[in-house]
Amino acid sequence: MEVDREQYYDDGGGSSRRRNRGERGDRHHPYGDDDRRGGDRGGRGGRGGRGRDRGPRDDGALSFRDFCYKYLRDDTTPAEAERRYEEYQKENQEAFYERYWRDHRHDEHERARNDPRRLVETLARRDDVSRAHAQEFFTARESGSLDVYGAEEGGHDEGDDADVNMNEGGDNAEGGEQHHKKRSVAPIEAWHPVRLGFDFKQAGKLIAALDAEKGIEGNPLLNADEGVGMDTEASAEEDAATLETLGNEEGTAEKLDERLCYLIRVHGIDYYKRVSEMHPVTFLEKVTMTTTFSKRDPKPAEPVRPVAENPYGVRWSAALDGNVKRRITEGDPQVKKLGTEEIERKLEEWVQSCVVKHDEQRYGCALNCTKLFVAPEFLVKHVKTKHASAYEQQRESLIDEQFHRNVLEYLKYEENRKASKRGRRKGGMFGGMMMMPGADGQFIQVPVAAQGGARMIQGMARYTDLDASVPERVVIDYGDI
């Protein structure tokens, strides 16, 4: 039975009076003060004065409805309620993560993505599909029926905004004309011969590493000197003249596109989206032999500047090259989510903890067992065979811990991705707003470029500084007109 915290108490005078909960309030709570919640109203004087200690217990992960009921007045505006709930979520983020874990740990979709028991099966199926796609790709290429560019636009949607802002440049400025054409994820400087040659060689190294992970051999896209074991730093140290020569060779751009097509259809990696890699579940659901990659814009007629002369190009290339290096050196991030080595290490530590040494050549078992052994290795074997149920139970517990870690890391990644996306939409490429006079003389807000030089703001009247100094006035005497 729920006990109402609005209780009667004896003040020692033989009579009872109602305790004013408004005087107590929630002074310790950061989501409003007593005055905001009608804390001085006391008693049951209207819903606005009800004690906010009522309602569900606050475990740090209240729903929006319960939060409003517990902490906010009835006259709180929706915008204010949302703002306070966002603050509440930020301060109790870990509790929300734990609540999500409790509510979704048995969901099939969640298990397929993060449970090591299911993920190992998903990865096996993904590798089988990758090998099948690779053979189909090689066959189509040899027969001349390979359609590199396909009919679909873009490889996938998952995590697109995690790595790159596709509309960086602010086409849709507030109050301005809306342009629906998307900017390419690769800057136009990707056509520069040095960068083109660099990407060709780097894509080859990435393909070699991914093929080795999935057991794909004899890839005709790779040259004889491209294979596993190459120095991942070699591309960065390539002579610019060599790369420029390679980039200027006829057919290099088409060969690069062929490699990028292979990456998306066989390995689920969109190279120009800063090596954005699909989750195995997404790969199995969406990738076909018509899926295509993110492309460069058409090659311009005039010469292309080096990447170093474009701030966006510098950031893009640094992120892309860093992701390629990390993917090659650290391996498949989905395999890491299995936690195999960590689970086996902790399981071995648990087995060793079951060994109790009585004296030399007398070792006992800590699992309610009276048997003695002359050496610890015999006891270890005993634990794994005679106490197999306890051994497997401990393994399952460790796998659940890894599952839990995977879910929390995924939630944190998603939160960071969404926060980054909101930040880009809020700021874009503009550093802020400034007041400028419009054509009708009224001042209006216009965006100010954050970096990369001044940007012309078209459609604006010329600005006249009314405070600027003016030549001394000449007084004309018109006499008696």
pLDDT for 463 equals 46
Q: Which tens digit of pLDDT belongs to each residue from 307-353?
A: 999 998 999 999 999 999 999 999 999 999 999 999 999 999 999 99
Distance CA 132, CA 126 (A): 10
Sheet holding 355-359, edge to edge: 355-359, 362-365, 372-373
What pLDDT, on the 0 to 100 scale, is given for residue 468? Answer: 52
Read off the pLDDT of residues 106-138 as tens digits, 9 standing for 90 and up. 999 899 889 999 999 999 999 999 999 999 999
In this predicted structure, what is the pLDDT of residue 422? 72
Confidence of residue 183 (pLDDT cuts 50, 70, 90): low
21-79 pLDDT per residue, tens: 333 334 334 444 434 444 444 443 444 444 445 556 666 678 888 888 888 888 889 99
Instruction: Report the 3 state secondary structure along the chain.
Output: CCCCCCCEEECCCCCEEECCHHHHCCCCCCCCCCCCCCCCCCCCCCHHHCCCCCCCCCCCCCCHHHHHHHHCCCCCCHHHHHHHHHHHHHHCHHHHHHHHHHHHCCCHHHHHHHCHHHHHHHHHHHHHHHHHHHHHHHHHHHHCCCCCCCCCCCCCCCCHHHHCCCCCCCCCCCCCCCCCCCCCCCCHHHHCHHHHHHHHHHHHHHHHHHHHHHCCCCCCCCCCCCCCCCCCCCHHHCCHHHHHHHHHCCCHHHHHHHHHHHHHHHHCEECCCCCEECCHHHHHHHCCCCCCCCCCCCCCCCCCCCHHHCHHHHHHHHHHHHHHHHHHHHCCHHHHCCCHHHHHHHHHHHHHHCEEEEECCEEEECCCCCCEECCHHHHHHHHHHHCHHHHHHHHHHHHHHHHHHHHHHHHHHHHHHHHHHHHHHHHCCEEEEEEEECCCCCEEEEEEECCCCCCCCCCCCCCCCCCCCCCCCCCCCCCCC
What is the average per-residue pLDDT within 370-379?
Answer: 89
Q: Is the pLDDT of residue 139 over 70?
A: yes
pLDDT at residue number 61 = 75
pLDDT in tens, 242-301: 999 999 999 999 999 999 999 999 999 999 998 989 999 999 999 999 998 999 999 999
The residue-averaged pLDDT of 80-94 equals 84
Q: How many whole angstroms separate alpha carbon 300 and alpha carbon 278?
A: 31
Mean pLDDT of the chain: 76
The residue-averaged pLDDT of 148-159 equals: 57
The pLDDT assigned to 349 comes to 94
Lowest mean pLDDT among 74-83, 148-157, 164-173, 409-418: 164-173
More confident residue, 395 or 420: 395
- pLDDT of the residue at 56: 61
Residues in a beta bridge with 449 = 430
Find the mean pLDDT for residues 165-192. Answer: 57
Query: Which of 4-13, 217-226, 395-404 has the weakest average pLDDT?
Result: 4-13
Tell me: the pLDDT tens digits for 196-250? Answer: 999 999 999 999 999 999 999 999 999 877 765 545 455 445 688 999 999 999 9
Per residue in 382-397, pLDDT (tens digit) is: 999 999 999 999 999 9
Burial class (CB in 10 A: 0-12, 13-18, 19+), 104: middle
Q: What is the pLDDT of residue 334?
A: 92
